[in-house]
Amino acid sequence: MSELLRAELVRVAERLGADGIEFVLERPRDAGHGDLATNLAMVLARRERANPRKTAERVVGALQLPAGVVARTEIAGPGFINFWLAENQLVAAHRRILAEGGRYGWAESGPGLKVNVEFVSANPTGPLHVGHGRGAALGDAIASLLEAAGQRVTREFYINDAGVQIDRVAQSLWARIRQETGLPAEIPEGGYHGEYLRENARAVLAAEGPEFARLPDDEGVRRCRALALRIQREEQDRDLADFGVRFDVMTSEQAVYAAGRVDRALDLLAERGLTYESEGALWLRTTQFGDDKDRVLRKSDGSLTYLVPDVAYHLDKADRGFDRAIDVWGADHHGYIPRMRAVLLALGLPPEFFEVELVQLVKVVRGGEEVKMSKRSGEFVTLRDLVDEVGVDAARYFFLMKKGATPLDFDVDKAKKQTEENPVFYVQMAHARLSGIFRTAEREPESVTGDLDLGALSAPQDTELLKTIVAFPEAVAKAAREREPHRITAYLHDELGPVVHGWYHHTRAVGAPEGPATEQSRLLLARAARIVLANALGLLGISAPDRM
């Protein structure tokens, strides 16, 4: 219905000689300002240096809407135009919720963009930490939101298995294997000291036999490289699977090299005249594309910087036909964005192709104190430890409560509470209570069908609940457009949750004192609200329990 109104406003704007003008049509914060409001008249007036209220009168006078859509129009404040929708619009919207069910909130538009969302992409050097968990929750939710917005999404994980970090973990594992059998060995400089490598060492010895530790160092390290990679990858995959995250594509850096893509990327840059030799190194003119200094591609020792495989990998994404490559990165990589963007622009990719969503640090707090490490990792809190303590639902919800770009204090005590202080509990409780209504009624929600009788929904809480659930698709579209899942947690906790609890508290569905027509309509309302709660939670990867 807002689409219809928007289209008509666009038509009026064109008639008033303002083609393509940008204006806002949205649900006002204050319900006293109508169901929908637009600033069109003020934008027009600014352009024409006219009185906004007079312009608003012209706009309203030119509107031609079919009967039964808008009940009332008002010009208010500095020149806002407020619309009250006709009641039958709400009945129709409710009908749509029941009809679409689990897909309510999803865009109707046809095949959208092909989007690649790359996230987590942890080095295969150890278990995932809580920061990876936040990236996983955020990337997965952004992917789900984009799917809901009608786009074709691929969830991808990039395995950095060709760099020096994997050498270090191989050397570290080799040292632990020797230590386990009483042979002298030291963890190398920059190596990994976590307890988990001791576990891995014991597992390798159990599988390969104790003589494995007596191999020459170079062969031992070489074999440890493959073993460490496999062991760490398997553990990360388990961590992710248990966190409810599933990837469509795992791409390995080694495979990017093996396919010749890295050499091809270098050739392509050279062909375009973007590289030059200086001081024995090969440089890229990223400054021509907005970077603050040129960057080295091949160091004077002949090895490549990590920029080269990263560029090759993103070219590969473009070759695979993606319109967008959205990368979820740790915030410590933000300095790396300009040069990546510069290179991709230089290679002729459109500026909107490459997008980065940053994830800030997670500080785990228990009893008011920061928790700095887990026993197993030795240096960070693992995702598994956190999930074991608070559960997947609470972990995901807390990770998604704030914008990714702001630092997060994860309050473990609060996440475990079974009271309203815990936002995820509060929201899930709303769903469980609605389910409870149907238990009491001894009916399946799906068996309650038909249209709402607005005349029978006499309580103000009825109307409030109806308007709140009808606003859900707009919230999804906005969250997808902005890549901001926290808008959905905010919708759940600040809007829908309180409205459901308030409705439940103040009105009665089963055995409604107003009579059977009211009971029927309230059951229909409860069924619809339950759908919206479940869909919103589902987008975030959180369960919607019927009992708690």
Partner RNA sequence: GCGCCCUUAGCUCAAUUGGAUAGAGCAUUUGACUACGGAUCAAAAGGCUGGGGGUUCGAGUCCCUCAGGGCGCACCA
407 binds RNA (CB under 7 A): yes
Of the two residues 135 and 212, which places its CB atom closer to RNA in the complex?
Answer: 135
Residue in the block written with tokens 């407020």: 82
Token pair for residue 199?
């576990």
Please list every residue from 105 through 164 that binds RNA, using CB under 7 A.
123, 160, 163-164
Among 6, 152, 222, 478, binds RNA (CB under 7 A): 478
Q: Please report, as residue ranges, which positions from 178 to 237 form the binding site for RNA (by CB under 7 A).
A: none
Residues 325-364 binding RNA (CB under 7 A) are: 331-336
Binding of RNA by 402 (CB under 7 A): yes
**DSSP 3-state assignment of 269?**
helix
Can you read off the two tokens belonging to residue 314?
Answer: 């993103």
CB of 455 to RNA, least distance (A): 19
Nearer to RNA, 177 or 312 (CB): 312
> 3-class DSSP state for residue 501?
helix
Count of residues in contact with RNA, rule CB under 7 A: 91
Which member of 233, 416, 510, 514 binds RNA (CB under 7 A)?
A: 510
Q: How many CB atoms lie within 10 A of CB 46?
A: 13
Part of the chain binding RNA (CB under 7 A), chosen from 149-157, 201-209, 226-234, 419-427: 419-427
Q: Quick check: 408 binds RNA (CB under 7 A)?
A: yes
- The span from the CA of 168 to the CA of 194, in Å, is 13
> Binding residue for RNA (CB under 7 A) from 101, 102, 280, 350?
280
Q: Cβ closer to RNA: 65 or 164?
A: 164
Q: Per DSSP, which regions of 123-257 are E strands?
A: 152-159, 249-252
What do you get for the CA distance between the two ends of the chain, in Å? 37
Could you say whether residue 72 binds RNA (CB under 7 A)? no
Quote the CA–CA distance of 126 and 324 in Å, as a whole number.
30
| Residue 370 binds RNA (CB under 7 A) | no
For the segment 437-476, give every residue that binds RNA (CB under 7 A): 437, 439-441
| Only segment of 3-11, 111-119, 219-227, 420-428 that touches RNA (CB under 7 A) | 420-428
Nearest to 162 by CA among 124, 127, 204: 124
Does position 367 interact with RNA (CB under 7 A)? The reply is no
In the region spanning residues 480 to 499, those forming contacts with RNA, defined by CB under 7 A, are: 482, 484, 486-487, 490, 493-494, 497-498
Q: Return the sign of the alpha-carbon dihedral for residues 246, 251, 253, 255.
A: positive
Give yes or no for residue 421 binding RNA (CB under 7 A).
yes
In 304-444, the DSSP E strands lie at 324-330, 354-359, 362-366, 369-371, 408-411
Angle (CA) 410 413 416, round 5°: 100
Element (H, E) at 505: helix 497-506
Nearer to RNA, 440 or 447 (CB): 440
Residue closest to 295 by CA, chosen among 241, 243, 346, 244? 346
28 touches RNA by CB under 7 A: yes
Does 423 participate in binding RNA (rule CB under 7 A)? yes
User: Does 257 engage in binding with RNA (CB under 7 A)?
Assistant: no
Helices 217-242 and 164-180, axial angle in degrees (round to 10): 110
For 64, the 3-state DSSP assignment is: coil
Q: How far is the CB of 417 from RNA (least distance, A)?
A: 9
Reduced to 3 states (helix: H, G, I; strand: E, B; else coil), residue 421 is coil
429 in contact with RNA (CB under 7 A): yes
In the bound complex, what is the minimum distance in angstroms from residue 210's beta carbon to RNA? 33
Q: Which stretch binds RNA (CB under 7 A): 26-34, 89-97, 203-211, 240-248?
A: 26-34
Q: Which stretch binds RNA (CB under 7 A): 92-100, 215-223, 316-324, 478-486?
A: 478-486
Contact 46, 55 (CB under 8 A): no
Residue 354: C-alpha distances to residues 78, 323, 340, 358 (Å): 40, 9, 9, 13
User: What are 422's two structure tokens?
Assistant: 């815990």
Site for RNA in 34-53 (CB under 7 A): 34, 37, 39, 42-43, 46, 52
